[in-house]
């Protein structure tokens, strides 16, 4: 018996990751973890870990595991069929009308198959092409979903680059962050104040003509791609609950086109009290079901010309290591959490050494080095040890102590960015410094202590060395 379903389960699982569903549901994220959605386990600190394949997640507190279907079922109180329809409609992924579907019956549990990672490869011989944005607008309704996403994001980015907006950005960077707005990474950041949001939407309507099919399609795309939402039937800014200050627009660029944007990290200059309490600094605008953005700072030129790159946790840290008034910028990129760079994307860095300049607090070092958890006699109380030299020494000492007491021990190894890069065939190292001079690189910059971590200037350096700023020797 064949039939026509309202959604294709396998197609949805193939095309959609748990991270995209979390973002679409509006579940808050801090660093690399989301809040637990189990009602009686809500906590201030997010505890949901996304597995490397982005197909399932598990709360390290309550132990619940979910895939994209059970996530929607539990969060929205839906049945399996309702969740499938919601996923299909939200991500616009529907069954193939030319395919014959036949129901299957499973009588035994099949163990999950480990997916082989298909690493991306950077094509150095491929020259980036320039996109005619005006022509793209003329044929907007003929473009693919991915092309329309990039056009929409690129228009937003261009609007945030207006002179009056950039003046406000430069003032914020200098006065609040101690960052020279003329450095290369700071220059590529856009800005939008609260008063200009309405003006931007008005400008976009003027591109197509208000009420025309193309204009309506464009606004719907901005809703589907996470920039707008509907309130009382009208499109409005998705994050309009942030009512003070403005927003830094931190772009992700397409590798093989010129200045075409694939997503943003938004950094409010005046975050809400709830965001401050939860430690949320940046908000993501993307549609990973269509295009997975690369981290801020990863460009065709970066991958083509450098053999060493610094990776930071956030955009302000990346702007900080670039340097104020130094002649040559220090190349790098900013990874928003351990899932801001997928395992597949790590293949782009083969042949490049990545130095992880992460925050010096425990969370930053866990993200960089990975960690191992240890529980005794199946206790819910777990001890954590960072997978660096001192952390593993402490771990082995603890194992010896417990072994002498003849106790049952369970351990669980969690990979950090260093282990993930190694799996991708990429050399990496972790940069550490005295936290007393600053917990993160922006703090170090504002405290005037960058010279205690980096060698600054050209004096005494070989002309073959590509970086003006290099890690200082201990």
What CATH number does residue 16 fall under? Answer: 3.90.580.10
Average pLDDT, 10 consecutive residues per value, the chain (474 residues): 61 88 80 62 61 80 82 81 82 71 40 70 93 92 95 96 94 93 91 88 86 90 90 84 90 95 93 82 88 95 93 92 58 84 95 96 94 79 91 90 71 93 96 94 91 57 33 42
d(CA 188, CA 161): 9
pLDDT of residue 97: 62
Are residue 52 and residue 177 in the same domain, yes or no?
no
Are residue 279 and residue 191 in the same domain, yes or no?
yes
> Which of 426, 442, 431 lies closest to 355, judged by CA?
431
Instruction: Look up residue 442 and give its DSSP letter.
Output: H
Are residue 45 and residue 141 in the same domain, yes or no?
no
Are residue 326 and residue 284 in the same domain, yes or no?
no
Radius of gyration of the chain (CA): 24
Measure Cα distances from 120 to 124, 334, 340, 426 in Å: 13, 19, 15, 12
Count of domains observed in the chain: 3
Maximum Cα–Cα distance for the chain, whole Å?
Answer: 78
Residue 123 included in any domain? no
Are residue 227 and residue 267 in the same domain, yes or no?
yes
Residue 74 included in any domain? yes
Beta carbons within 8 Å of 112's beta carbon, 6+ residues apart: none
Instruction: Look up residue 421 and give its DSSP letter.
Output: H
d(CA 39, CA 37): 6
Strands (DSSP E) along 178-239, which ranges? 190-193, 228-231, 234-237
Are residue 41 and residue 79 in the same domain, yes or no?
yes
The Cβ-side half-sphere exposure at 460, using a 13 Å CA radius, reads 5
Residue 391 included in any domain? no
Range of the domain at 54: 9-91
Domain boundary among 293, 321, 353: 293
Task: Provide the residue count of the chain.
Answer: 474
Are residue 254 and residue 154 in the same domain, yes or no?
yes
pLDDT of residue 432: 94
pLDDT of residue 364: 93
Beta carbons within 8 Å of 125's beta carbon, 6+ residues apart: none
pLDDT of residue 98: 61
Are residue 76 and residue 138 in the same domain, yes or no?
no
> Which of 257, 261, 349 lies closest to 306, judged by CA?
349
Query: Parallel, antiparallel, or unpaired for β 65-66 and 57-59?
Result: antiparallel
Residue 305 included in any domain? no
Are residue 138 and residue 241 in the same domain, yes or no?
yes
Residue 209 included in any domain? yes
DSSP string, 4-28: --SS-HHHHHHH--HHHHHHHHT--
Residue 322 sits in a domain whose CATH number is 3.40.1360
In the three-class reduction of DSSP (H, G, I as helix; E, B as strand; rest coil), residue 213 is classed as helix
Are residue 262 and residue 355 in the same domain, yes or no?
no
Instruction: Look up residue 435 and give its DSSP letter.
Output: G
Query: 222-250 as b/e, with b when 16 or more CB fall inside 10 Å?
Result: bebbbbbeeeeeebebbbeebeeebbbbb
Residue 386 included in any domain? no
Residue 103 included in any domain? no
In the three-class reduction of DSSP (H, G, I as helix; E, B as strand; rest coil), residue 337 is classed as coil
Instruction: Look up residue 450 and give its DSSP letter.
Output: G
Are residue 363 and residue 426 in the same domain, yes or no?
yes
Are residue 161 and residue 240 in the same domain, yes or no?
yes
Could you tell me the pTM of the whole model?
0.72
Residue 420 included in any domain? yes
CA dihedral of residues 204, 209, 213, 214 (deg, nearest 10): -40
Domain boundary among 260, 293, 326: 293
pLDDT of residue 405: 62
> Phi and psi dihedrals of 207, rounded to 5?
-70, -30
pLDDT of residue 80: 73
Helix (H) or strand (E) holding 397: helix 389-404
Domain boundary among 266, 293, 320: 293
CB 428 within 8 Å of CB 353:
yes
Beta carbons within 8 Å of 352's beta carbon, 6+ residues apart: 303, 306, 307, 308, 309, 426, 427
Angle (CA) 461-463-467 rounded to 5° is: 70
> Which of 239, 340, 221 lies closest to 283, judged by CA?
239
Residue 201 sits in a domain whose CATH number is 3.90.980.10
């Amino acid at each position: 018996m064949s039939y026509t379903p309202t959604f294709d389960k396998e197609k949805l699982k193939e095309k959609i990751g748990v991270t995209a569903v979390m973002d679409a549901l509006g579940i808050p994220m801090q660093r690399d973890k989301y809040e637990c959605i189990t009602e009686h386990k809500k906590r201030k600190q997010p505890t949901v870990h996304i597995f490397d394949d982005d197909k399932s997640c598990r709360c390290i507190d309550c132990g619940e595991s979910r895939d994209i279907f059970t996530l929607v079922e539990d969060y929205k109180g839906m049945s399996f069929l309702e969740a499938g329809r919601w996923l299909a409609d939200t991500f616009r992924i529907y069954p193939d009308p030319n395919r014959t579907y036949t129901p299957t019956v499973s009588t035994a549990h099949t163990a999950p198959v480990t997916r082989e990672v298909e690493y991306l490869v950077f094509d150095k011989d491929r020259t980036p092409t320039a996109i005619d944005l005006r022509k793209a607008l003329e044929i907007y309704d003929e473009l693919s979903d991915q092309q329309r996403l990039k056009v929409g994001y690129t228009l937003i980015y261009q609007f945030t680059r207006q002179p009056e907006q950039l003046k406000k950005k430069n003032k914020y960077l200098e006065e609040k962050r101690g960052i020279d707005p003329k450095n290369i990474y700071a220059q590529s950041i856009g800005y939008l104040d609260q008063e200009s949001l309405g003006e931007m939407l008005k400008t976009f309507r003027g591109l197509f003509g208000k009420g025309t099919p193309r204009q309506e399609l464009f606004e719907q795309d901005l809703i589907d791609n996470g920039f707008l939402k509907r309130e009382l039937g009208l499109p409005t800014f998705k994050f309009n609950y942030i009512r003070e200050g403005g927003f830094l627009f931190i772009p992700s660029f397409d590798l093989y086109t010129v200045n075409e944007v694939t997503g943003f990290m938004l950094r409010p200059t005046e975050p809400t009290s709830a965001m401050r309490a939860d430690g949320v600094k940046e908000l993501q605008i993307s549609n990973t079901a269509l295009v997975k953005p690369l981290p801020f700072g990863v460009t065709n030129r970066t991958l083509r010309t450098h053999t060493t790159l610094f990776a930071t946790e956030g955009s302000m840290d990346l702007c900080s290591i670039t340097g104020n008034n130094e002649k040559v910028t220090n190349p790098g990129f900013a990874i928003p959490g351990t899932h801001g760079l997928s395992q597949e994307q790590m293949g782009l860095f083969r042949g490049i050494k990545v130095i992880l300049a992460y925050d010096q607090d425990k969370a930053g070092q866990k993200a960089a080095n990975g960690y191992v958890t240890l529980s005794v006699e199946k206790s819910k109380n777990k001890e954590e040890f960072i997978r660096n030299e001192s952390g593993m020494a402490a771990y082995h000492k603890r194992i010896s102590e417990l072994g002498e007491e003849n106790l049952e021990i369970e351990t669980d190894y969690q990979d950090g960015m260093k282990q993930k890069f190694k799996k991708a065939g990429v050399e990496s190292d972790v940069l550490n410094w005295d936290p007393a001079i600053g917990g993160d690189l922006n703090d170090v910059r504002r405290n005037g202590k960058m010279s205690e971590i980096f060698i600054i200037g050209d004096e005494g350096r070989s002309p073959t060395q590509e970086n003006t700023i290099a890690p200082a020797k201990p």
